[in-house]
Amino acid sequence: MLRVNRPGFIEIESSLNRTRGGLVQASRRHARANNPATPGYNADEPSTSLIYLDANNLYGYAMCKYMPISDFTWYPGNPEVALAQLEWMGETDDVGRIYEVDISYPQHLHDAHNDMPFLPHASIPHGSSVRKLMVTFLRKERYVVHYMNLKQAMAHGVVVEKTHRVLEFRQSPWLAPYINFNTELRRQAANKFEEQFFKDLNNSVFGKSIENMRARFNLELVSCPARMRKLINRPTFKYCTTYNENLSAVTQHSKEVDFCKPIYIGFTVLELSKVLMYGFHYDVMKRHYGDKIELLYTDTDSLFYRVVTDDFYADLIDNPNLMRFMDTSNLPKDHKCYSTLRKRVPGLFKNETNSRTVYEYVALRAKSYAYDVEQEVTIRSKGVMRHVIRNHLTFAEHKRCLFADVDDDAESDECDDEFDANMGKMFAADSALKAVAQIHRNASTGSTNSSTTVAAAAATHPSHVYSYMPFTPYRENVSIRSFKHELRTIRSMKLVLNRADDKRYVLPDNISTYAHGHHRINY
């Protein structure tokens, strides 16, 4: 049963529950730096640097802003009038708003905003069946957005076609003292444990504010058959997990949903964090460098750039408006930009690689990329075990996967040989496992014709369907998992590199991409 004691609460709750997490995408899938500090430097080409910037305590920064607190009401007048009033609203106003609008993206902005269009939304990409958070130029209907995000997007040319309704509320920076207190303690931390502890204190506030109470359920352990029948006959019955003949766990839907979590806080934090990321990209970096900067990759609180410049750090020193957004406390103490004045200040950006030079970068898709920092390779691959990333993936394999049918020349023969050897090991191991399993089956059934059966099992094609493409390699993943509270060691062959990326429209060179909805795309 859903019991609500305030009129209109369900409408408000359903609107605010359309939260959008962090944006992750690869806008350009390969880049190489060209400056005197990189190998193979070409003085005839423009000097370029790869810069990997990360925001300090992004959600902590957002929680220090004005957060909704009370007096949630629907705007009583014409919603279009409320939209016109947006121009005079600021982030420190006592009254905030959330708009539900129809959005369109003018065609003349497609090229300028292709790296990261405004107003992300969850949708199913063309040719896919999975809903993903993307930034596109497609028309958006009944898009729920915080007033600061909408104001920012409209200032950069996004058009609001229609305003359906507006939710008003009273707001204040009531979370800021607590967040700033933990931030200061983290700044004074003497070890990694304290740093992480005070960071988690801030993040846990956000985590509980965004909790979906509808997803909670009741679990009961049952050993009595009569009790089991009674629970199964209830309308709240969800499913049952049997551990043995005397014990089962019955999962039931909650009879009542207690909306005790302030989801309006979580919604606002996610929205205002995007205001910072978009503001830094368009109003700081793009404004300063113009066409000389290109966004390669973004992941919630980080931005990976290729910048045409002789010295990025010299640019910081020469431009105070650029430097004031940077935290340079992680640079070496003898570095010309080193300073502790802005150490760990929420919302400022620091160089993820300290002062070391990024030579090259390659991304296959969201959450799957690698970059070379002075011959030290960092690889990120979501869903792949750390030991596989550390011991069985290389930067060269990422490039080979990306340029499989573009740069397949004699230089790749060594990679082909390595792949063939790995595939041979996989087939041999799989055949051996099948043979051993057959031996045990024969032993248990008393079969006398075991040699013939084993030989047949070893000659059988492995049960796994492996890809022979040398650029989409499989690797063995070993993990410990729990099934019905029983720990098991699981060995599985997993596709660890895959360049298929449907969050963006990939051009034939396999490097450049368009955001979906770009006027040059012909699906």
- Report if residue 209 sits inside a domain: no
241-295 residue pLDDT tens: 999 999 999 999 998 888 888 889 999 999 999 999 999 999 999 999 999 999 9
325-367 residue pLDDT tens: 999 999 999 999 999 999 889 999 999 999 899 999 999 999 9
Domain total in the chain: 2
The answer on 229 and 117 residing in a single domain is no
**Confidence band, pLDDT 50/70/90 cuts, at residue 20:** confident
- Report if residue 76 sits inside a domain: yes
The answer on 130 and 237 residing in a single domain is no
The answer on 245 and 118 residing in a single domain is no
Tell me, letter by letter, the H, E, C secondary structure of 114-128: CCCCCCCEEECCCCC
The answer on 15 and 120 residing in a single domain is yes
The answer on 222 and 147 residing in a single domain is no
Which stretch, 13-22, 467-476, 495-504, has highest mean pLDDT? 495-504
- Supply 384's token pair: 């792949």
- Report if residue 147 sits inside a domain: yes
The answer on 102 and 246 residing in a single domain is no
- Report if residue 158 sits inside a domain: yes
Q: Name the CA dihedral angle for 424, 425, 427, 432, rounded to a multiple of 10 degrees.
A: 140
**Please, is 14 exposed, middle or buried when counting C-beta atoms within 10 Å of its C-beta (0-12, 13-18, 19+)?**
exposed
Would you list the DSSP string of 419-460? HHHHHHHHHHHHHHHHHHHHHHHHHHHT-S-HHHHHHHHHHS
Mean pLDDT of 10-36: 84
pLDDT score for 260: 86
pLDDT score for 213: 87
- Of the three residues 111, 141, 174, the one that is the final residue of a domain is 174
According to DSSP, the residues that pair with 412 across neighbouring strands are none
- Report if residue 162 sits inside a domain: yes
**Confidence band, pLDDT 50/70/90 cuts, at residue 212:** confident
Q: Name the CA dihedral angle for 115, 117, 120, 122, rounded to a multiple of 10 degrees.
A: -70
* Cα 370 from Cα 364, distance rounded (Å): 9
CA 16 remoteness from chain centre: 21
Range of the domain at 243: 217-253
Would you list the DSSP string of 22-59? --EEESBSEEE-BSTTSTT--TTSPPEEEEEEEETTHH
- Of the three residues 174, 191, 226, the one that is the final residue of a domain is 174
The answer on 85 and 169 residing in a single domain is yes
Q: What are phi and psi of 133, to 5 degrees?
A: -80, 120
pLDDT score for 19: 72
- Report if residue 355 sits inside a domain: no
The answer on 243 and 156 residing in a single domain is no
According to DSSP, the residues that pair with 393 across neighbouring strands are none
- Of the three residues 198, 229, 253, the one that is the final residue of a domain is 253
Q: Which residues contact 256 (CB under 8 A, 6 or more apart)?
A: 1, 2, 3
The answer on 249 and 126 residing in a single domain is no
The answer on 233 and 109 residing in a single domain is no
- Report if residue 426 sits inside a domain: no
The answer on 119 and 15 residing in a single domain is yes
The answer on 101 and 232 residing in a single domain is no
- Report if residue 445 sits inside a domain: no
